[in-house]
Structure 1
Amino acid sequence: EAMRDITGWGSVVTIVFLTAAAVIYLALSGRRRVAVFVLAAVGGGEAVSTVLKLFYHRPRPDLVPHGMEVFTASFPSGHAMMSAIAYLTLATLLARVERRRRVKALLLVLGIAMTVLVGISRVYLGVHWPSDVLAGWCVGAAWAALCWFVALQLQRRGEVEDPDPTPASTGPGQIKGTTAAG
């Protein structure tokens, strides 16, 4: 039952909910262009996943009874791919706007851990071959890396918001370029 819960982290409903929550957070915190970028990155990844499944149309494993019902093709694992796309993209983009290094590290570790656990759950439940999950992880991680690179380029051109200053350049109660004394 725990594996079915974990596999749910890669479901469309969960991915849409968490992406919407991140987009709303970014928009409310004044990072509207980053919010639009996150929405486009995850939405574009979902489109890529759908096209790949339709193209390959690989049947599901039939070695063991499935631990849950499945309705789509097996290759690549949509859950593994979308968890990599959503969680790695969200983790990297949110880490870029976070000031504290420990929080940045936490975001990245959580994104990676959730992605790995979703993939493992898909094999455990017997609904994917390991190669389906590996392909999903690879394509999803590549998409997340591409999105991170595009965001970096847009940021350099001033088309998306700059990340907050790092803790090394700004301390508590300081504005960048000033000291506490004034």
Structure 2
Amino acid sequence: MSTAPVAENGKILSAELQGRWWTWVASEPETTNPVTDTNGSRCGRNQPPDVWFLAGTHGGRAVRACEIPNGRPIAVPVINLVGDDQSCAAFMGRAQGTVALDGKPVKPETYEGDSILVEGVQDNQVTGEEGRFTATACGLWVQLPLLAPGAHSLRIHGQSGDFSVDVDYVLTVGASSA
């Protein structure tokens, strides 16, 4: 498998990242979806080999514990949306968020609206669509560099209008294989 296109700063380009993330969450039905996960038990489902995705919620609070293999950068939306150009413009006009990794602030990046390709399974409640489709994705995102082995805390809070996401992660990065 080839790696994703990256920018000069080593991060996955926004359209690629958002398309892959939305396909990741749309590849699971509601009963096994990482977005509906209440404790972190689903965080390892269908992870790609070159990045580790984390999920927000459908709105509200969650506390999750996840084990992450060593050597994987992490990507997570602070708050995001998939829809069309108009819905993304309205959503991003009110979007705000904060992230803290091990108690230190991390500045989210703004992805205003990218055309993405998504593939969803039947009964996925995240996108509501099955099969391949094109949409516009937007949001506030963080792409974290490789974390040292051991325990880390990641606190995510995002809001746009009346919709808010509040997730605390306890991340355990595995020991180096070298």
Q: TM-score, normalised by structure 2?
A: 0.24
Q: TM-score, normalised by structure 1?
A: 0.24
Between Structure 1 and Structure 2, which shows a larger proportion of strand residues? 2
Between Structure 1 and Structure 2, which shows a larger proportion of helix residues? 1
Instruction: Kindly name which structure, 1 or 2, has the bigger radius of gyration based on alpha carbons.
Output: 1
